[in-house]
Amino acid sequence: MAVQINPSILSADFSRLAEEAKAVEGADWLHVDVMDNHFVPNLTLGVPIVESLSRATDIPLDCHLMIEDADRWAPQYVEAGAGSVTFHAEACAAPVRTAREIRAKGARASMALKPATPIEPYEDLLPELDMLLIMTVEPGFGGQAFLDIMLPKIRRTRELISKHGLELWLQVDGGVSASTIERCAEAGADVFVAGSAVYGTDDPAAAVRMLRDQATGATTAAGWACDH
């Protein structure tokens, strides 16, 4: 399968979420940023809105939990209809148990790393996950500038995935746009979250197609196969 483009509804109009989901038809997943004003200094939405959104769109929901006490909350987002649930390593006391619980309830389990959190301590945990998210901005807000100092971490993570022969997807989130997506793809990312670069344009569906073309081209040129 090809690279995946996941528009982030953080940059959409929250009063028209169902329509905003329709505006990105063709996207692989809809990225839903859940923030609790504790783990990050911003507050967005929670379980009831995820439940409503999952009924309003056929695009599967990729829930990115930027919340404390992720162990307790993550399974509730699966029950609310998320197809993929990402908890932060920094907010999770029992990542193996939580990942297993997410999978047991039928969703994909994913773990996110803030920019200052290294991947190396989590190497042995990777087989428990379906996706790893490398933040390329400090979590909390859309529209921030891409941190290109994260590129070596993306590269090292791709090497670990290859070394262990894992099927793990590698997602990047934050500042992903037409001017940064190729560098992410070349470094080894295969799932791309884009908020302002999609919803900040007049034609969000066309933006998704353009980002997909760019990422596919860079992945092919880099010579590593995206095999999911």
Ligand X SMILES: O=C(CO)[C@@H](O)[C@H](O)COP(=O)(O)O
Q: Contact positions toward ligand X, by CB under 6 A?
A: 8, 10-11, 31, 33, 64, 66, 137, 139-144, 173-176, 193-197
Asked if 195 and 35 touch (Cβ cutoff 8 Å), the reply is: no
Most distant CA pair in the chain, distance: 45
Asked if 111 and 86 touch (Cβ cutoff 8 Å), the reply is: yes
- Is 196 annotated to bind a ligand? Reply is yes
Distance CA 49, CA 133 (A): 23
- Pick the catalytic residue from 28, 33, 62, 130: 33
Interface pick for Fe ion out of 20, 28, 33, 36 (rule CB under 5 A): 33
Q: Judge whether 124 counts as a catalytic residue.
A: no
User: Which residue has the CB atom at the shortest distance from Fe ion?
Assistant: 64
Nearer to ligand X, 202 or 227 (CB): 202
Q: Which residues from 114-173 bind Fe ion, rule CB under 5 A?
A: 173
**Spacing of C-alpha 102 from chain mean position:** 16
- Is 11 annotated to bind a ligand? Reply is no
- Is 175 annotated to bind a ligand? Reply is yes
- Is 31 annotated to bind a ligand? Reply is yes
E runs forming strands in 68-204: 84-88, 108-113, 131-135, 169-173, 191-194
Q: Judge whether 33 counts as a catalytic residue.
A: yes
Binding flag, residue 108, Fe ion (CB under 5 A): no
- CB under 5 to 8 A by kind: which of Fe ion, ligand X, none does 174 bind? ligand X
Q: What share of the chain is helix, strand, coil (3-state, %, to 5)?
A: 45, 20, 35
Nearer to Fe ion, 64 or 212 (CB): 64
Tell me how far apart the terminal alpha carbons of the chain are, to the nearest angstrom.
5
**Spacing of C-alpha 155 from chain mean position:** 17
Nearer to ligand X, 11 or 214 (CB): 11
Q: Which residues are catalytic?
A: 33, 173
Enumerate binding residues for Fe ion (CB under 5 A).
33, 64, 173
